[in-house]
Amino acid sequence: MDDGDADGVNPGKVAVKQMAEPSVDDLTTMYEIQARIVATDEQFRQRIGRGQATLIYYSPRGQESISAALGVCLRPQDYLVTTYRGLHDQIAKGIPLRELVAEYLGRTTGTCGGKGGPMHVTHAASGVMVTTGIVGGGLPIANGLGLAAVLDDSEQVTAVCFGDGATNTGAFHEAMNLAAVWDLPVLFVCQNNQYGEHTPIARSMRVPTVAERAAAYGIASARVDGNDAVAMWHAIGAATDRAREGGGPTLIDALTYRFHGHILGEDLAYQPAEERAAAVSADPFPAYRARLISQYGITETVLDDIDRRIAAEVDDAFRHALASPEPDGSSLYTDVVAEVTV
């Protein structure tokens, strides 16, 4: 694994290699993933607002272009680690929507039988291995998933998503350094929404970009418009290719914005209203739809069909979840440790 960089990209420099353009299939799949995220998020916000669901909800709305690209570039057997703001990533990696929504609502039919909740979704069959509630906590674990691939000499890649706030934790520093030293096949995807909880990034770090932090560890990095799914497709595609070829980790600094603050329903006084209004008016999802039609010649009919299918799927997922039982208490003591078999 100590063979430097197969692409001739210097560690620490921007690593975007020339790739083909995304296929029509990739483009429409990225649309479908975003549509599924947007519709699911909207249902959660509406139902929480109407009192039909009670949960502490970290809306990912505004950040879905990043997940769309991950969903297309990662293979089913690749691993994903994400955070409490993870609905978009979980959907993109392919967790069945019924099980995902049911877990958010704490039902027995959820991915984790209601024991994890939105902050701790795992669906091993889809490769979503960890959702952490600890800022920065997922990065060291992603290295371990990557290390297993190295030990097995497999082509599996691990992507770990986190916010800009996580880049100020010790876990970020330790994980980036170890991933570099061991040339691990890990993509560090910073969904840089420019706020760590309520504090803007400029008050949390002295360097202007997250991307340049990669230089301190000797790993490749790219600063990308995280609201541009096609740009993300290029960046993530290049990074996954490098990782699969033994070229080691990449830090992707994906610039984006969260539309609904840290926790849904909070006082957003810490965010300038005009800043948020500008971000919402540049909403990446309708912008992507318009671009598919104007630039890539995909017809409205195709996209409308996707919209209709997604609306029905999301409706079904919520209906199914709300009709599912909550745990009755009998599972409280199970799965703390392995069942002892004598």
Partner 1 sequence: MAVMGFAAAINSALDVALGSDPDVFLLGEDISDPGGGVYNITKGLSTKYGEHRVRDTPISESAIIGAATGAALAGKRPVAEIMIMDFLGVCLDQLANHAAKLRYMTGGQAHVPLVVRMSAGAGVQFGAQHSELLEAWLVHTPGLKVVMPSTPADAKGLLLSAIFDDDPVVFIEPTLLYFGAAKEEVPDGDVRVPLGRAHIAREGSTITLISYGLHVHTCLAAVAQLSESDIDAEVIDLRSLVPLDIDTVLASVSKTRRAVVVHEAVGRAGFGAELSSLIHEALFDELAGPVRRVTGADTPVPYAKPLETAFIPTADTVAGAVRQMCS
Q: Which stretch binds partner 1 (CB under 8 A): 31-39, 148-156, 261-269, 270-278?
A: 148-156
Sheet holding 250-255, edge to edge: 128-132, 79-83, 158-163, 186-192, 250-255, 220-225
Binding of residue 142 to partner 1 (CB under 8 A):
yes
* Separation of alpha carbons 324 and 110, rounded Å: 9
Nearer to partner 1, 250 or 256 (CB): 250
Binding of residue 120 to partner 1 (CB under 8 A):
yes
* Separation of alpha carbons 174 and 66, rounded Å: 24
- Quick one: which of 36, 32, 70, 88 has its CA closest to 233? 70
In sequence order, the β-bridge partners of residue 163 are 191
Pick from 24, 134, 277, 280 the residue near partner 1 by CB under 8 A: 134
CA 300 from chain centre, in angstroms, equals: 27
- Quick one: which of 132, 38, 53, 47 has its CA closest to 86? 132
Nearer to partner 1, 130 or 220 (CB): 130
Nearer to partner 1, 214 or 306 (CB): 214
Q: Which stretch binds partner 1 (CB under 8 A): 6-14, 249-257, 262-270, 333-341?
A: 333-341
In sequence order, the β-bridge partners of residue 80 are 128, 159
- Structure tokens that stand for 77 in this block: 């057997």
A 10 A CB-CB count for 197 gives 13
Pick from 174, 212, 225, 313 the residue near partner 1 by CB under 8 A: 174
* Spatial contact of 242 and 15, defined as CB atoms under 8 Å apart: yes
Binding of residue 96 to partner 1 (CB under 8 A):
no
Considering CB under 8 A, how many residues would be counted as binding partner 1?
47
Minimal distance in Å, beta carbon 120 to partner 1?
4
* Separation of alpha carbons 279 and 290, rounded Å: 17
Radius of gyration of the chain (CA): 20
Binding of residue 2 to partner 1 (CB under 8 A):
no
Nearer to partner 1, 20 or 336 (CB): 336
Pick from 175, 243, 251, 255 the residue near partner 1 by CB under 8 A: 175
Binding of residue 214 to partner 1 (CB under 8 A):
no
Binding of residue 269 to partner 1 (CB under 8 A):
no
Q: Which residues contact 296 (CB under 8 A, 6 or more apart)?
A: 24, 27
Binding of residue 80 to partner 1 (CB under 8 A):
no
Nearer to partner 1, 36 or 123 (CB): 123
- Quick one: which of 184, 222, 200 has its CA closest to 66? 222
Nearer to partner 1, 301 or 333 (CB): 333
The residues of the shown chain that bind partner 1, judged by CB under 8 A, are 79, 81, 110-116, 120, 122-124, 129-130, 132-134, 137, 139-149, 151, 158, 170-171, 174-175, 177-178, 181-182, 331, 334-338, 340
